[in-house]
Amino acid sequence: MKPAPKTFHVKSFGCQMNMYDGDRMSELMSAEGMTPAEAAEADLVVLNTCHIRERATEKVYSDIGRLRKNGRAPMIAVAGCVAQAEGAEIVRRAKVDVVVGPQAYHNLPELVAKAARGEAALDTDMPVETKFGRLPARRRVPPSAFLTVQEGCDKFCTYCVVPYTRGAEVSRPWGAIVDEAKALVDAGAKEITLLGQNVNAWEGEDASGNVQGLDGLIRALDRIEGLKRIRYTTSHPNDMREGLIVAHAEVEKLMPFLHLPVQSGSDRILKAMNRSHSRDSYLRILDRVRAARPDMALSGDFIVGFPGETEADFADTLSLVDAVGYAQAFSFKYSPRPGTPAADMAEQIAPEVMDERLQRLQAAINRDQEAFNLASVGRRCGVLLERKGKLPGQLIGKSPWLQSVHLVADAAIGDMIEVEIAAAWPNSVSGVELVHEAA
């Protein structure tokens, strides 16, 4: 038995959705009257885990070991995808106090109270009814805020654990999303990024009972006064419907940035990954997107060294990168996730081959990213200021194309200012303020 915690620390790993969940857990703890503290001092530490991390499970056990150094014994809660995948095994192996899956974290305060009473506190249920209605209202939010609209995935890519840890695709209801978006804007958000494992698969009934896709939802959010920008991530190529592409041409607040993972440029590997799209169908989607919005910045995800990937398959990936010209992209070495079909496939690729391919891929992506940034020099655009820079008077914001813009301006965090891009680097650009528009 441990005393009821008075202070807490939430440590989140992984994707933006995990960061969002971590913030919501912090809000839950604050609503219970606990105060935030550093991990080394907190009475309760929540490890909000990510199963996409390499050797994710082992890392959680070493994180737990570190928290217990120097005779400390904080209450430890393991949340997120590793909690979902490991369940009671974590309690057995590491004697943690609470285990809570990503669809059950609204029950965290209850579980913490149970643990304080010395009772078992494990909840990895995936209830169909949404957890969101049980989360507290959000009072203070950054200028750029996240809003989860969809969770789970039905795609079952052969390398991925998400369908097992986050469950089937579920869309939050229209009204709940619109209300939360309005509350975020009232609390100071100027930009909202709609989050989902397959965000563009979102579907729901609007206030009149008509079935809408993500484009309909975006058009509804577009009408919220005070909201200046809308983004969404992560999308699946197969759910990139015409209405959403048209919205990019018609909705001014919808930013010209699309993160559309492809994973490989080889049809043979895409089939083995069960991606359910081909190289050609992916490229045709991007053509339609660029026809709708010519200045669209494109982003993607790649896995190198998927089982059976030959040098010819990898050459197809490099040629796809050349064909697209990404503004940015994420690339990773394949690493097997226990329980997924790919983990048991023959022809696993040697680590040194993966290393070498990853270096070549990243060189190509970096080249295109730098070229994209250089091509934006001279462009005029709005920049939403998000934080202070390291230099005196420096501010950092985001361009419509999700570039980090560094500048010095007589403005405050949360302001949207007009800027001319003045110089470019591989990972950022600098800008000069043109006119200061009141926020």
CA–CA dist 72, 429 (Å, integer): 44
Q: What's the length of the chain?
A: 439
- Pick the closer one to ligand SF4 by CB: 160 or 320: 160
**Whole-number minimum distance, CB 341 to ligand SF4, in Å?**
11
Question: Which amino acid is present at 39?
Answer: A
Does 153 help bind ligand SF4 (rule: CB under 6 A)? Answer: yes
160 is in an annotated binding site: yes
- Pick the closer one to ligand SF4 by CB: 163 or 325: 163
CA–CA dist 391, 409 (Å, integer): 12
Does 155 help bind ligand SF4 (rule: CB under 6 A)? Answer: yes
CA–CA dist 347, 132 (Å, integer): 43
Q: How far apart are the first and last CA of the chain?
A: 51
381 is in an annotated binding site: no
- Binding span for ligand SF4 by CB under 6 A among 93-101, 140-148, 158-166, 199-207: 158-166
- Binding span for ligand SF4 by CB under 6 A among 3-11, 89-97, 148-156, 210-218: 148-156
**Nearest alpha-carbon partner for 315 in 277, 347, 279, 351:** 279
Tokens 């579920």 belong to residue: 170
Among 118, 120, 127, 156, binds ligand SF4 (CB under 6 A): 156
- Pick the closer one to ligand SF4 by CB: 338 or 393: 338
- Pick the closer one to ligand SF4 by CB: 268 or 379: 268
Bond preceding residue 234 cis, omega within 30 of 0? yes
Question: Which amino acid is present at 201?
Answer: A
Tokens of 172: 């939050």
- Pick the closer one to ligand SF4 by CB: 52 or 365: 52
- Binding span for ligand SF4 by CB under 6 A among 64-72, 88-96, 156-164, 386-394: 156-164
**Whole-number minimum distance, CB 21 to ligand SF4, in Å?**
15
Contact present, 263 and 270 (Cβ < 8 Å): yes
- Which residues have CB under 8 Å from 25's CB, separation 6+? 10, 46, 48, 79, 105, 108
**Whole-number minimum distance, CB 121 to ligand SF4, in Å?**
28
Cα 411 to the chain's mean position, in Å? 28
Half-sphere exposure of residue 346, counting CA atoms within 13 Å on the CB side? 0
- Binding span for ligand SF4 by CB under 6 A among 95-103, 159-167, 414-422, 429-437: 159-167
50 is in an annotated binding site: yes
- Pick the closer one to ligand SF4 by CB: 160 or 298: 160
Does 65 help bind ligand SF4 (rule: CB under 6 A)? Answer: no
Does 322 help bind ligand SF4 (rule: CB under 6 A)? Answer: no
Q: How many residues bind to ligand SF4 according to rule CB under 6 A?
A: 10
Looking at residues 177 to 236 of the shown chain, list those that interact with ligand SF4 (rule: CB under 6 A): 197-198, 236
Does 103 help bind ligand SF4 (rule: CB under 6 A)? Answer: no
DSSP for 172-188 reads: PPHHHHHHHHHHHHHTT
- Parallel/antiparallel/unpaired status of strands 144-148 and 191-195: parallel
**Whole-number minimum distance, CB 263 to ligand SF4, in Å?**
7
Question: Which amino acid is present at 87?
Answer: G
Question: Which amino acid is present at 222?
Answer: D
The footprint of ligand SF4 (CB under 6 A) covers: 153, 155-157, 160, 162-163, 197-198, 236
Instruction: Mark the binding-site residues for [4Fe-4S] cluster, compressed into ranges.
Output: 15, 50, 81, 153, 157, 160
